[in-house]
């Protein structure tokens, strides 16, 4: 049986060496507790030329397009960690303004504050369907999204390889078509897709009318994106569904407005226009789902909501409340 010796009540002279060592350890501990460890910030967090800091860690930038020889406003929220090659591109609807609607109306910067990827919000010309227009050098948006933005991120933000192969693309309404078509055209660039309330077969009569009609009416009747049917076929996600090899999420709603939610700045328009528009999108989505089933594309997931018009209330709920946007980014 081992007996431990008790030193209770006994006094020992302190060893000077131990005293100095203890003092040094204590001082080191105090210094460590008072030292502010700097947050790891990617090298790209320094403001690149043409960028200025805005809210939520994002920057308002001016990005030059060599293919169109003009500049575009783009909001960039850098990744939270350095040397991060994950990128998410956000495409607005057809009536995009000078600020991407995902930021101004969707609240994406706040909702995605903890997502560790470079978030990119370009503001492009309205009703151009994210296409390289045949015969119109001023509308080359497929090139802008798939080639020029990755190079810009690589050169100005230090994103490894510009995120090529590790970029997700999401879009709503006409941007839903744009996102799906970009991914089908460039599966080497895009690794994840989330499309909301879009159209996916511009060769079908009603969807053809939507694309051609809005493109002509809102671009001074100068034409449509494609000079011939070959161009339309080449940019048809339904016909090119076998090139959608990455994880894809597609969502749509019934068209029944969420009367208890945010009805937007014009509640009447949300009901009269937003309702039928979203019902049409749900039908187009169901048609695309049938084609995906025939093609055996198990990587494409479809989600429907019983309530929701063609409006930001619907897209915010689908994206953030229902978690689809977070899953989309996780898939990158």
Fold of 48-330: Rossmann fold (3.40.50)
Q: Which two tokens stand for residue 35?
A: 């030292």
Cβ atoms 283, 289 nearer than 8 A: no
Burial class (CB in 10 A: 0-12, 13-18, 19+), 11: exposed
What are residue 70's phi and psi, to 5 degrees? Answer: -155, 170
Residues 6+ apart with CB under 8 A from 149: 63, 74, 89, 120, 122, 162
Point out which residues pair with 62 in neighbouring strands: 73
The domain spans of the chain are 48-330
Cα 182 from Cα 252, distance rounded (Å) = 19
Instruction: Give 148-178 pLDDT, tens digit per residue.
Output: 999 999 999 999 999 999 999 999 999 999 9
Tens of pLDDT, residue by residue, the chain (332 residues): 434 333 333 334 444 444 444 443 444 443 333 333 333 444 445 689 999 999 999 999 999 999 999 999 999 999 999 999 999 999 999 877 899 999 999 999 999 999 999 999 999 999 999 999 998 888 999 999 999 999 999 999 999 999 999 999 999 999 999 999 999 999 999 999 999 999 999 999 999 999 999 888 877 767 889 989 999 999 999 999 999 999 999 999 999 999 999 998 999 999 999 999 999 999 999 999 999 999 999 999 999 999 999 999 999 999 999 999 999 999 99
Instruction: Give 115-145 pLDDT, tens digit per residue.
Output: 999 999 999 999 999 999 998 888 999 999 9
DSSP 319: I
- Count of CB atoms within 10 A of residue 257's CB? 24
Q: What's the Cα-to-Cα distance from 39 to each of 80, 156, 177, rounded to whole Å?
A: 10, 21, 39
Cα 101 from Cα 245, distance rounded (Å) = 28
């Amino acid at each position: 049986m081992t007996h431990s010796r008790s030193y209770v009540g006994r006094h020992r002279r302190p060893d000077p060496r131990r005293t100095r060592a203890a003092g040094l350890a204590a001082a080191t501990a105090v210094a460590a507790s008072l030292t502010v460890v700097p947050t790891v910030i990617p090298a790209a967090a320094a403001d690149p030329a043409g960028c200025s800091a805005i809210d939520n860690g994002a920057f308002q930038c001016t990005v030059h397009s060599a293919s169109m020889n003009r500049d575009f406003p783009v909001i960039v929220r850098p990744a939270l960690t350095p040397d991060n090659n994950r990128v998410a591109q956000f495409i607005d609807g057809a009536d995009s303004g000078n600020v991407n609607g995902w930021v101004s109306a969707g609240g994406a910067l706040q909702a995605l504050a903890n997502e560790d990827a470079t978030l990119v919000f370009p503001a492009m010309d309205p009703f151009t369907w994210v296409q390289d227009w045949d015969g119109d050098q001023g509308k080359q948006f497929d090139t802008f999204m798939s080639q020029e933005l990755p190079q810009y991120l690589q050169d100005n933000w230090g994103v490894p390889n510009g995120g090529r192969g590790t970029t997700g693309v999401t879009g709503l309404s006409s941007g839903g078509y744009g996102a799906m078509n970009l991914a089908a055209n460039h599966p080497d660039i895009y690794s994840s897709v989330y499309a909301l309330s879009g159209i996916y077969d511009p060769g079908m009569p009603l969807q053809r009318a939507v694309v051609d009609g809005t493109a002509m009416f809102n671009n001074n009747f100068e034409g449509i994106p494609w000079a011939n049917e070959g161009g339309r076929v080449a940019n048809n996600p339904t016909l090119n569904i076998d090139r959608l090899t990455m994880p894809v999420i597609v969502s749509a709603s019934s068209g029944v407005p969420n009367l208890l939610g945010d009805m937007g700045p014009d509640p009447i328009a949300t009901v009269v226009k937003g309702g039928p528009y979203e019902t049409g999108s749900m039908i187009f989505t169901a048609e695309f789902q049938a084609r995906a089933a025939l093609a055996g594309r198990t990587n494409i997931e479809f989600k429907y909501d019983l309530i929701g018009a063609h409006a930001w209330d619907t897209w915010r709920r689908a994206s953030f409340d229902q978690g689809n946007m977070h899953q989309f980014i996780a898939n990158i």
